[in-house]
Amino acid sequence: MREIVFDTETTGLDPRTGDRLVEIGCIEMVNRVATGRVYHEYFNPDRDMPAEAEAVHGLSSAFLSDKPRFAEKVAEFLEFIGDSPLVAHNAGFDFGFINAELGMCGHDVVCTSRMVDTVQIAKKKHPGAKLSLDALCTRYGIDRSHRTKHGALLDADLLAQLYVELTGGRQIGLELAVETAVQQVSTEVETVVVRREMRPARPHAASADEIARHQAFIATLKDPIWNEGAVAG
């Protein structure tokens, strides 16, 4: 099954008050294994970058000033995500910004039925625990030492690893490996059987001479064990 794990960076918390999307990072997964295909883009929000937001992701207005608008890249983005489920941490936030940008471009919004929220998955597995991406990466031993600031593609990569752990962990890969190994063994055995040369059955019945010699030998035995307890007729 193909899924897209993604993350966004924005100018603030609410697109309804004028906040805009400034970065998106997507990672393609098939059967919970990253394929190596990614989509990553920065966007010019056509507005200033609040200091609070810049402190989180480090994206300044100057850095974003020569980047494309979302509308210029929307076709590429939609082609990449296709109709696959979309996995995000606190997914309602990211869906809100993507759909706001799509709406401003005159495109249909992405249906929330495609939304997979890892916060909700984690909440069911670890009720009462801290559910931030950082806290869950620590819980599952996912290395984030290279992460000094938030970044959409970097966070999507961490989330992809977390998603695998939340939905079965490394056992997923193990099961696939075992299944593949079984299929290979079955194929090899089948090949051996098909190529095997049939041999005629070996004769195993005793000849008349062998039977006579066996009876003569039995007659020489004194008090054989099979006669113990026998009652004379």
Annotated binding site for substrate: 7, 9, 52, 57, 155
Which among 132, 153, 154, 152 is positioned nearest to 143, based on CA atoms?
A: 154
Give the strand pairing for 86-88 and 33-42.
Answer: unpaired
Residues annotated in a binding site for a divalent metal cation? 7, 9, 155
107 is catalytic: no
Residues annotated in a binding site? 7, 9, 52, 57, 155
Alpha-carbon gap, residue 16 to 97, rounded angstroms: 9
Backbone angles phi, psi at 60, to 5 degrees: -95, 165
Token pair listed for 163:
């998603």
Alpha-carbon gap, residue 65 to 44, rounded angstroms: 6
Catalytic residue among 40, 89, 146, 150: 150
Give the strand pairing for 21-30 and 2-10.
Answer: antiparallel
Per-residue DSSP letter, 6: E
Alpha-carbon gap, residue 39 to 37, rounded angstroms: 7
Which residues are known catalytic residues? 150
